[in-house]
Chain A
Amino acid sequence: MIDTPSVDWLALSPALALLAASGIALLSAVFVPEWMRRTVGAVSAFAGFVVAAVFAGVLFDRSATPEALLSESMIRDELGALAQLILAITGAVVVFVSWSEPRRVHHGEYYSLLAAAGAGMVFFVQAENLMTLFLGLEWFSLCLYILVAIDTERATSLEAGLKYLIVGGFGSAVLLFGSALVFGATGELGFAAIAAAEAGDDAFLVAGLAMILAGLAFKVSAAPFHMWTPDVYQGAPTTVTAFMSAATKTAAFVLTYRLLVTAFPDESEIWTIAVAVLACISLAWGNLAALAQRDVKRLLAYSSISHAGFMLIAVSAGTERGAESLLYYLVPYSAMSVGAFAVVAARERELGVAVTLEKLAGLGWERPFYGVALWIFMLGMAGFPLTGGFFGKLFVFSAAYDAGDWWLVLVGVAATMLSLAYYLNVIRWIYMPTGADLLLAPAGGAPPREYALGFGVLAAIVVTVGSFFAAQPILDLASEAAGSMPF
């Protein structure tokens, strides 16, 4: 008589809910009449994300002590649950933003892949084993490769999909090779087991760690592993970009922190330096390159690289406080990022062309709501007060200062100064067009009423501003979650 293995269904429930939603949406692409596909797909994906969020909340509540699952391949803890919560809410907002995307075909597939990618991410953040990590990574990456290329009639979309596939595939291969080296050095795949093996400064182990870090840096788009980011963010359908910029970063950063702290505590002297260097390069390169951008999606792509730099500062602190500040940072960052891309999507639908800075001229006066929204998101990304972006930076800086990295604070401050130039420039275009600028702006008719997108943007504003005033409750969640890692 073989015992059936006990499965902790609650721990798997967010991923399962999203998989179910994905399945329903996919079936709708086949079995449902064409005119209903969008509705069925969107509703099922939205329901999937909401249910996943609820389960993640319950999971957070009931996982006070971390617990390994399924032969120690996964872990059930508050860190994973909080990341799942952020991911699921992001996904739900993205469904709103995607609703009136002018796409003739592939509605069912789009929402199915969105939910499947979400499922991969919520699975990924619970990984406790290098194989689960790789599985989760490939799971959501494959979905994203297709999502990026889903607008098959647009060459840029296909191009972006191919680029992402090749570069992403390379990143995954590096990560897998690194995992193999770590396995060779320690004979273990589980995070805790790798730490327990105490392989010391084994050259294989260090090389493996470096390669795993590089592979994850591809996913968080940290420079110098960011090459794909501007092209893919620009070419992908804007709603997909919104999802990627927020959700991929959240998932990859949480897992990076978990992996480094759980599996490589003895090597922390090595990886804190490595991560700090990555942070500096990302901050410098992201901000400098963003200065030169005209295309708003590209600009936001470089801005996301610089945000990766800020979050890496939190990672390099390598302390509980660092983890806390990273988790806090992810909340307003996800909201601002989704919101900013949503406004770009709205403008794109209205004008039917790629949105450059010139195409934003006068947006603030013609479309007051989107104007104010973009204003808030830009201020938030620049770290102005009255947005959560401010506390995000503050917490990251104080974590770094607390960990003794005062020089990283100065680098971060200098990067913020640089970043002002382009964030303020966006505001200048939306509110202060000169006569000559307006001539460049195409005259649009009455824009389509996009209540769903407007609602998504409103939600993003609420989180962006709300996370400033309610910083403590979010920080409480973050510190509980951070406490589930072994510091």
Chain B
Amino acid sequence: MLATWLILLPVLGALVVLLLPLPRLLTAGLSFLVALVEVGLWIVAAGRFDFDDGSLQLGTTEEWVESLGISYTVGFYGFSLWLTGAAVVVSAAAIGYALWIGRDRPRAYHALMLFLTGAIVATFAAQDLLLFYVSFEAMLIPLYVLVGVWGGARRVAATLTFVVYTMVGSLLMLAAVVAFGVTQDTFSLVDSGTSDNEWIFLGFVAAFAVKAPIFPLHGWLPLTYRESPVEVTAVLSGIVSKTAVYGFIVIVLAKFPDPVEDFTGLLLVLGATGLVYGSLLAFRAPDLRGIVAYSSLAQMGLITIGLFAFNDLGLNGAVLQSVAHALVSTSMFLLVGMVERRTGTSDLAALGGMARGRPATATVLLVAGMIALAVPGSATFAGEFLIMAGAYEEGWGYAAVVALGIVLAAMYVLRLISAVLHVRPGPAVRDEALDLRLGELALVLPLLACLLVLSAWPALISESSFVADFLTGSP
């Protein structure tokens, strides 16, 4: 039942926030409270979760459309519980940020954010193909408006590009869902067998490759990540992209073993290309958002390599890296937002010298950056190392590319740090610009704390994700 409550709580919260005519601050506060309760609920769920057991837990099944074999089936495996955890933490941070900066039209804004949270959690919990598709699409409904209304100057173009790109992928998936469900006579992911139809396989891959995004389907990413409200970008790059990872695991890898075998080479090459290409673009990007945005592309390429290495190490690494990247990407985007609020720009040329007299900014950005560039000992390093080890089993070339990716990450992150904190004070950095305030620290520090815990104990996730067990079907 807990899975259902994790989905329902934010959705009901969204309705309450939308309908109660509260003043601005109370609306946003209520929404933040709901998001925090959601995190609490997840902790309860994690407490009840048996981490020695690789089977579906905390689940519910209700009949929905029996005649087509569609049911409301939710529940968690180890990896989906961890992804959900990342989701609720990230969305709480994002909603907190919106509360802190006081977004306009708070009732609509917060209702949409909470609804988005519910849709994301539902995606991670879905154990029915149709329910998965429904939640996967439901995420777009609030995102379209969130980006289009609260975004930057080119928000309308950004939101249209994003939604149309994603929907094209998703509709191909819908055709695949129909074909798979009708052939199997059930949409349940638990009961259905495997398929060796390559077209159906490609329909699913298309949807997830756009959502992740995987090179070369990342066309929507630069504009959307630059023009969205910064906390929405954090949610997009932090967790919406991870729904694709989840889809790859529970649908593509689990249901299409033979086509995966045939296409592994292609997907690994695409992942590797994305990793290198994204890193290079991040290194060349002229603005903060661009760097973090393209680094997300690179990281998703890395995670793709881990997934399609299709072995214990790679899969566990991919899950660990997904959670770590969710947290680190959110921290980075929120920090970018905080810098933007002080300087009014994301342009590297106009920034610089912010470390002077702003110790908190300097320390926090440095720590987040160090984790982002996967300094040895960090959670991201653990994830990348596992992926590298997994990739090595597929071929030393992939492992070499992953290693190259780590080097490139160091280059672009250090470039970002030095461009913001060091060098000469940029023209947009005024002396009055404040250090990070208490409220801002309260949002970022918990994220960093989670990352530090994972850095100290990465086995927390990598030893209890059970992806390989899930895929081989052995308990």
Contact = CB atoms under 8 A, between A and B. Distances in A.
Interface of A: 365, 379, 384-386, 390-391, 393-395, 397-398, 401-402, 406, 409-410, 413, 416-417, 420-421, 424, 427-428, 431-432, 434, 471-472, 475-476, 479
Contacts of B64: 471-472
17 contacts: A379-B141, A384-B141, A385-B133, A385-B134, A390-B134, A394-B130, A394-B178, A401-B182, A413-B174, A416-B171, A420-B163, A424-B160, A427-B144, A428-B156, A431-B148, A432-B148, A472-B63
A428 B182 contact: no
A198 B385 CA distance: 74
A145 to B, nearest CB: 39
Nearest to B164: A420
B105 interface: yes
A394 B163 CA distance: 20
Contacts of B168: 417
B65 to A, nearest CB: 5
A420 B166 CA distance: 11
Contacts of A475: 65, 67
B179 A401 contact: yes
B140 interface: yes
Nearest to A429: B156
B52 interface: no
A383 B168 CA distance: 13
Given A409-B175, A471-B65, 12 more contacts: A385-B134, A390-B137, A394-B177, A394-B178, A413-B172, A416-B174, A417-B164, A420-B164, A428-B160, A432-B149, A471-B64, A475-B65
A472 B148 contact: no
B432 interface: no
Given A385-B137, A431-B149, A472 B66 contact: yes
A390 B140 CA distance: 14
Contacts, number: 84
Interface of B: 63-68, 105, 130, 133-135, 137-138, 140-141, 144-145, 148-149, 155-156, 159-160, 163-164, 167-168, 171-172, 174-175, 177-179, 181-182
Contacts of A402: 182
B330 to A, nearest CB: 25
Contact of A424 (B67, B105, B137, B144): B144
A384 B138 CA distance: 7
Give chain B's interface secondary structure class. helix
A398 B178 contact: yes
A316 to B, nearest CB: 16
Contacts of B164: 417, 420-421, 424
A470 to B, nearest CB: 10
A68 B171 CA distance: 43
Contacts of A476: 67
Contacts of B177: 394
Nearest to B70: A471
A475 B448 CA distance: 50
A385 B178 contact: no
A385 B149 contact: no
A401 B178 CA distance: 8
B61 to A, nearest CB: 15
B67 A398 contact: no
Given A385-B138, A397-B175, A402-B182, A479 B67 contact: yes
A421 B144 CA distance: 13
Contacts of B155: 432
B167 A432 contact: no
Contacts of A421: 164
A210 B64 CA distance: 40
Contacts of A395: 68
Nearest to B169: A417
Nearest to A397: B178
Interface centre among A390, A413, A421 (most CB of B within 10 A): A413
Contacts of B65: 391, 471-472, 475
Given A386-B141, A428-B148, A432-B155, A398 B105 contact: no
B145 A431 contact: yes
A365 to B, nearest CB: 7
A394 B63 CA distance: 17
A406 B182 CA distance: 11
A410 B179 CA distance: 11
A420 B167 contact: yes
Contacts of B148: 428, 431-432
A397 B172 CA distance: 12
Contacts of A398: 68, 178, 181-182
A298 to B, nearest CB: 21
Contacts of A386: 134, 138, 141
A321 to B, nearest CB: 9
Contacts of A479: 67
Contacts of B66: 472
A299 B246 CA distance: 38
A409 B178 contact: yes
Nearest to B168: A417
Contacts of B178: 394, 397-398, 401, 409
B418 to A, nearest CB: 37
A309 to B, nearest CB: 15
Nearest to B105: A365
Nearest to B133: A385
B60 to A, nearest CB: 16
B199 to A, nearest CB: 9
Contacts of A391: 65
Contacts of B145: 427, 431-432
A431 B63 CA distance: 36
Nearest to B181: A398
A51 B182 CA distance: 40
Nearest to A379: B141
Nearest to A420: B167
A472 B105 contact: no
B174 A432 contact: no
A429 to B, nearest CB: 10
A475 B68 CA distance: 10
A441 B159 CA distance: 23
Contacts of A401: 178-179, 182
A428 B163 CA distance: 12
Contacts of A428: 148, 156, 159-160
Contacts of B144: 424, 427
B138 A413 contact: no
Contacts of A390: 134, 137
A224 to B, nearest CB: 25
Nearest to A324: B67
A434 B175 contact: no
B37 to A, nearest CB: 23
